[in-house]
Amino acid sequence: MAYHIKQFKQGEIIFHGGDSSDCAYIIEKGQVEIFVESNDAIIDILNEGELFGEMGVLDQSPRSTSARAITPVVLLEVKTEQITNRLAESDAIVKALVGVLLKRFRTMLPSQGMTAKSSNLLDQVESVVEQAGLSKFKLESELRTAINHGDIQTVYQPITDIQTEQITGFEALSRWSHPDRGYISPVEFIALAEETDLIIEVGDLVFSRAIELLSQLPKHVFININVSARQLDDDQFLKRVVAKIEQHGISPVRLKLEITETMVVDFKKAKQWLAKCREIGFPVCADDFGTGHSGMEQILELDFDVLKVDQVFIRNMFKSDRYQIIIESIANMAKRLDTKLVAEGVEHEKELKVLQNLGFDFGQGYLFGKPMREEDVIKLF
């Protein structure tokens, strides 16, 4: 359902008290005043980015005040349905909070003359909130149990030296086989784990297993591990990893940490974290490189050891010249910046040839191997 933009001239009325309400507004441009028409008393003046008219949407009762454009205004209209849809897609905690607020709001309503229709809408919003929130909470508690019972597995996908075509490393990836729902993609459960502190436990599990595996592999073999935003915020995280590598006598250069640019919200903090990793000796990779919005800013500000070019560029390199041109530019740039380059999602021999010619260092993808179990990794060497 698309959002509508509405424009009003200076002095124009947006709605009158007593009008029915089926939408709220966000001010894109200009200024709006909320007032009582009978005595012209101004209740509020609102500026760009502010929301108004939301009370009527929640209780479906007629507008209790009027709204007028003080300057020419551009408004984004938000329909009731869009609010309930958004709510259904939101974070479990946000839903639970909205649910509680709605219940309180409902107890306030009868004194203001709630109609049967308004009660229906609140019921509707509440049930969306409860259902969606509960199923997620259930999954969250199951994930917790799965972690405790060791049902989260770690698999390892080969990373190959693109020139010699020899396997030189692996990326550790998590897997969950759920007793009823079957295989759940890490895209889903890692996102869920990231909303809670469970990602810290999943992360520690992956690091422990990967470090133990490294101690059984030849010294030139490395393992890449995905790091989540919460782990960056966890001051003890690097200390725990260092303690583990020391315990197993593993060199830090064999453990490469992958972070995505969506995680880098605060460049200053990310810089400090990178500096800490550098001091310890952990190489840091920019994962899914090229897909975010601030790729250039990121490599200007942050000194990565490795760029992992996202699969989308490899998949499309023969479909569109633009993708190929961009891969070439990234390859030139990486050479001059002295940054190692990994291509993700390499599936075909002809893609490999192009990447070899462009001077990529490593490749990862089904052409070289799918993620495999620990015992199969050990058998390879």
Q: Does 365 bind ligand C2E (CB under 6 A)?
A: yes
Q: Residue 69 CB, nearest distance to Ca ion (Å)?
A: 48
Q: Does 347 bind ligand C2E (CB under 6 A)?
A: yes
- In this structure, the chain runs to a length of 381
Please say which residue, 59 or 258, places its beta carbon nearer to Ca ion: 258
Q: Which residue in the block uniquely carries the two structure tokens 């015992």?
A: 375
30 binds, options ligand C2E, Ca ion, none, Cβ within 5 to 8 A by partner type: none
Minimum distance of ligand C2E from residue 277's CB (angstroms): 16
Q: How far apart are the first and last CA of the chain?
A: 55
The yes or no reply on residue 234 touching ligand C2E (CB under 6 A) is no
Q: Between residues 84 and 196, which has the closer beta carbon with respect to ligand C2E?
A: 196
Joined together, the tokens standing for residue 157 give 């996908």
Q: Which is nearer to ligand C2E, 66 or 174 (CB)?
A: 174
Cβ atoms of 360 and 331 within 8 Å: the answer is yes
Among 24-32, 218-226, 236-244, 247-255, which window interacts with Ca ion (CB under 5 A)?
A: 218-226
Contact between 345 and ligand C2E per CB under 6 A: yes
H-helix or E-strand containing 34? strand 32-36
The count of residues interacting with ligand C2E (CB under 6 A) is 20
CB of 330 to Ca ion, least distance (A): 14
Element (H, E) at 249: none
With binding defined as CB under 6 A, does residue 174 bind ligand C2E? yes
Q: Residue 175: beta bridge partners?
A: 153
DSSP string, 151-207: -EEEEEEEEEETTT--EEEEEEEEEEEETTTEEE-HHHHHHHHHHSTHHHHHHHHHH
Structure tokens at 119: 């009660």
> Which residues contact ligand C2E (rule: CB under 6 A)?
157, 173-174, 185-187, 190, 202, 206, 226, 228, 287-288, 311, 345, 347, 364-366, 371
